Amino acid sequence: MRAVRFHRQGPPDVLQIDELPSPEPGPGEVRLDIKAAGVNHLDIWVRRTLPRIPVPRIPGADAAGVVGAVGEGVTDRQIGDRVLLNPGISCGACVRCVQGEASLCSSYGIYGESCDGTYVEQKIVPASQCFPLPPQWSFAQGAAFPLVALTAWRMLVVRGRVQPGETILILGAAAGVGVLCIQIAKLAGLRVIATASTEAKRALCEELGADHVLDYTQPGWQKEVRRLTGDGADVCVDYVGEATWRDSIRLTRPGGRIVTCGATTGQDPSADLSHIFFRQLSILGSTMGSRADLEAALLAASRGQLRPVIDRTLPLTEAAQAHQLIEDRAVAGKLVLSLE
Ligand SMILES: [Zn+2]
């Protein structure tokens, strides 16, 4: 079977196709025959810079496919089931896991980062990691949804506790997580101010329901946020990091909250402590989410309230090209690798 791996960290062209033996599931496991793998920004970090990544490594956190074989004792999944993969892995036994808070487990990991990932034709996973693929979805849609939906749901609903009528500012909103944040915020009854850099990305934000869409490459967009909100947004979503942190702090109202789940442009912005304490801001960290968060997002999706947004689908052999497109920020929504 084919897999995309890198044998050393580096630029996109370190990704290569390798031939590997077909794996067999053990007790409690299934063999997922992957038909589509989602590409996330996480995959870029793992390939490029993340420390302590053993090589060779198969990147990829998201996948959808068909159960191809079941191990001993598996009763809730059958050969032929169309499923998508929960990208988060936890011990299942510690107090936080038992409380349903898997993403707070001290051994929490993500496929592709903590172990081999999903850019591969067949993968052995615990049966419990597989969720039914919504029947109306293609495999590509199934692979474009879990990581970003889980992340966005937890950020807004669980950590941000967004309320109807509030205003949310979403920076770089056409990114994979952002397109889910817009949809969840609208579903929760918020007014959405989104920022995006290109005409196509802004059109996508509008199509997803954003009330105001601003071009952050143009000077003065911050003034427009102030005009729309008075003293700032109730909630601000920032996964951009260094490039936007100063704006996030200044464009959130006194007593408001900033939710962060990433730092694509750098992790060490000015702390701006005087703004944080004087204006009584809450800074809320969020990472991935629990099984219940993914189930809630999938339930909303099954009712047509949330949908995956796919920029384009490329064959598995073009994984390097997919990574380059993400590094060039030439993607609105998600890129998916097809293995069909
Ligand atoms: Zn645990």
The ranges assigned to domains in the chain are 2-145+308-338, 149-285
Whole-number Å distance between alpha carbons of 156 and 260: 10
Residue 99 Cα, ligand 1 centroid: separation in angstroms?
9
The pLDDT value recorded for residue 55 is 97
**C-beta separation of 198 from 175 below 8 A:** no
Residue 88 Cα, ligand 1 centroid: separation in angstroms?
11
The pLDDT value recorded for residue 111 is 98
Residue 173 Cα, ligand 1 centroid: separation in angstroms?
32
| Residue reference for tokens 């100063």 | 246
Residue 27 Cα, ligand 1 centroid: separation in angstroms?
20
pLDDT at 265 > cutoff 90: no
Q: How would residue 241 be classed by pLDDT, with cut points 50, 70 and 90? A: confident
Extract the tokens encoding 161. Answer: 């506790």
Residue 92 Cα, ligand 1 centroid: separation in angstroms?
5
Least confident range of 185-189, 217-221, 272-276: 272-276
The pLDDT value recorded for residue 264 is 80
Residue 295 Cα, ligand 1 centroid: separation in angstroms?
19
Extract the tokens encoding 226. Answer: 């102030």
How many CB atoms are closer than 10 A to CB 44? Answer: 19
How many CB atoms are closer than 10 A to CB 123? Answer: 28
pLDDT at 11 > cutoff 90: yes
CATH class, domain 149-285, is alpha beta
The pLDDT value recorded for residue 269 is 87
The pLDDT value recorded for residue 280 is 97
Residue 285 Cα, ligand 1 centroid: separation in angstroms?
19
pLDDT at 9 > cutoff 90: yes
**C-beta separation of 104 from 292 below 8 A:** no
The pLDDT value recorded for residue 268 is 85
How many CB atoms are closer than 10 A to CB 94? Answer: 16
Whole-number Å distance between alpha carbons of 140 and 314: 10
Residue 156 Cα, ligand 1 centroid: separation in angstroms?
23
Contacts of 302 (CB under 8 A, 6+ apart): 134
* CATH homologous superfamily of 2-145+308-338: Medium-chain alcohol dehydrogenases, catalytic domain (3.90.180.10)
How many CB atoms are closer than 10 A to CB 222? Answer: 15
**C-beta separation of 265 from 327 below 8 A:** no
Residue 319 Cα, ligand 1 centroid: separation in angstroms?
32
pLDDT for 46-81, tens place per residue?
999 999 999 999 999 999 999 999 999 999 999 999
pTM: 0.95
Residue 146 Cα, ligand 1 centroid: separation in angstroms?
20
| Residue reference for tokens 């996480």 | 42
Average pLDDT, stretch 19-32? 98
Whole-number Å distance between alpha carbons of 213 and 227: 13
pLDDT at 262 > cutoff 90: no
Residue 265 Cα, ligand 1 centroid: separation in angstroms?
30
Residue 160 Cα, ligand 1 centroid: separation in angstroms?
23
pLDDT for 93-110, tens place per residue?
999 999 999 999 999 999
Residue from 129, 23, 118, 51 nearest 83 by CA: 129
Whole-number Å distance between alpha carbons of 333 and 330: 10
Residue 109 Cα, ligand 1 centroid: separation in angstroms?
10
pLDDT at 231 > cutoff 90: yes
Residue 14 Cα, ligand 1 centroid: separation in angstroms?
33
Extract the tokens encoding 300. Answer: 């909303």
The pLDDT value recorded for residue 242 is 87
Whole-number Å distance between alpha carbons of 92 and 127: 13
The better pLDDT of the pair 264, 206 is held by 206
Residue 108 Cα, ligand 1 centroid: separation in angstroms?
7
Ion ligand 1, residues whose Cβ is below 5 A away: 90-91, 94, 97, 105
The pLDDT value recorded for residue 272 is 86
149-285 has the same fold as 2-145+308-338: no
Residue 300 Cα, ligand 1 centroid: separation in angstroms?
27
C-alpha radius of gyration, the chain, whole number: 20
